[in-house]
Chain A
Amino acid sequence: MASFTGYKKVIYDANCIIYLCFKTEEQGKSGNLVVIDSPPFTELTRRLTEYLKTYNKIVCTLKLVFDEIASLNLAEAVKERTSDQDIRDALGLSRGEIFPEHIEYKIVRNMKKKLIKLQYEEWFEIDPNYLANPQSISEVRNFFRAMFNNPTIQPRFKPHKPPIPSRPDISLILYSRDTLFPLISNDRHIYEFKEELANSNYTHKIIPLQECNSIE
């Protein structure tokens, strides 16, 4: 169960921000309307955000993270979701049929417009100035490297994914430490090691998005 008592602001990671924009409808080949989102996270993030707004809390993130979502992550998320067989079946695409490039662009363009609009919402803030200390970034990288090289801990890492989080993700971890705001994350890379990161003073508090299903 998540608690936000005492916090004025809450940090969202890249995934959570994408979920805020990641819902659109597309007409399938037989005229049916197919909802393209990322269940259950799209709905979970929407409910969490409404809760935070109700209690006048600000959702914040870093400019570094926001820019990377706009240029990279959003398109990757759409590509991934439109490759899922359930969506392709619902849209009437046969196996092996290429997802039309212009429809993919249409979806990404619509979602990017929602993303751009987000930055002008009064409950949403982008910190344009925060730059994580390079020494701290290096220490967090070493932390993850050490965890990965520990045979008893290695299974906790997501397979086929680089063990060291990206610079934007490390910056979010440290931002939580430097601001004392909790970081909401759906990135297993980040929340799997929330206890160890907090105990090592690399972060203040990390809350997995799934724990926001019930809030006290």
Chain B
Amino acid sequence: MLNELRNTEAKLTEKSYYWKHLLPGFPIAFAEEDIDNTGIISGTRVLFTEPQSTYFSPWGVGRSFSTEVVFIRVSSMSVMPSFIRRKQESKIDILKDKIQYYINYIEDIIDDMEQFEVSYNRTMMRGALRYCSIALKAFAEKKLQDESIINRISSFVQKSRNLYQQHRKYPDNPFSRLDLQYFEDLFESIEEACHQIGLLPKLENLSL
């Protein structure tokens, strides 16, 4: 059933409607029909295939928090004419959501890595992640247009999470002994990029 949802898209009619995702790579989900034809649906059941996703429709913006069925409250069908404007506004909201998601994700990884013994690697990873978190906040405040830095940071964060999870499988191999030059190089390229676009100074120029 999930594959069917991914591969098809319902036409917008009075009796059916769709949620169209605006974040690339996220699959489409469906809502049940508006059986009483009022266009006003509250507590609509929607099956999402990706957790932590934001979905947009002419009737409102919904968030999923798991791959299970969730309830979304929607507003009246009368907002249809403002669909395009809301689509643009929503793109900004979705980016803000994405940034906040990764800021929260970074906090979790920093907390998790605290359990490792104090070492250069631990200090480097936690410090680099904290810098990325500050960069994300700065991006949200400055409302910059070029999102490529967000993608680079989110990729770094995801790799850091993978590193932590893989290392947990082998607790006898100390985190301090891992060769993390790749991560340090990756971070330094993010640091340079942040500096180049005027987002954040390099680490050596940051202070308390």
Q: Is the CB of B134 within 8 A of A70?
A: no
Stretch at the interface among B10-18, B73-81, B118-126, B144-152: B118-126
The A interface is mostly helix, strand or loop, or mixed, namely helix
Chain B: minimal CB distance from A203 (Å): 28
How many residues on the A side are at the interface (Cβ–Cβ under 8 A)?
26
Whether, in the assembled complex, B176 has its beta carbon less than 8 Å from a beta carbon of chain A, the answer is: yes
In the complex with contacts A71-B120, A71-B121, A103-B126 CB distance below 8 A: no
**Complex Cα–Cα for A80 and B69 (A):** 49
Stretch at the interface among A15-23, A106-114, A133-141: A106-114
Which of B119, B122, B203, B208: most chain A CB closer than 10 A? B208
Taking a contact as CB atoms under 8 Å apart, the answer to whether A105 and B208 are in contact is no
Q: Interface residues of B, CB < 8 Å — how many? A: 23
**Across-interface contacts of B134 in A (CB, < 8 A):** 102
* B20-57 with Cβ < 8 A to chain A: none
Residue among A92, A102, A108 making CB contact with B206, cutoff 8 Å: A102
16 A–B pairs (Cβ distance < 8 Å), ordered by A: A71-B119, A71-B121, A71-B177, A72-B117, A72-B118, A72-B119, A72-B120, A76-B118, A79-B118, A103-B206, A105-B123, A105-B128, A106-B127, A106-B203, A108-B127, A109-B127
Besides A71-B120, A104-B123, 4 new A-B residue pairs in contact (Cβ under 8 A), listed by A number? A28-B208, A102-B131, A105-B124, A105-B128
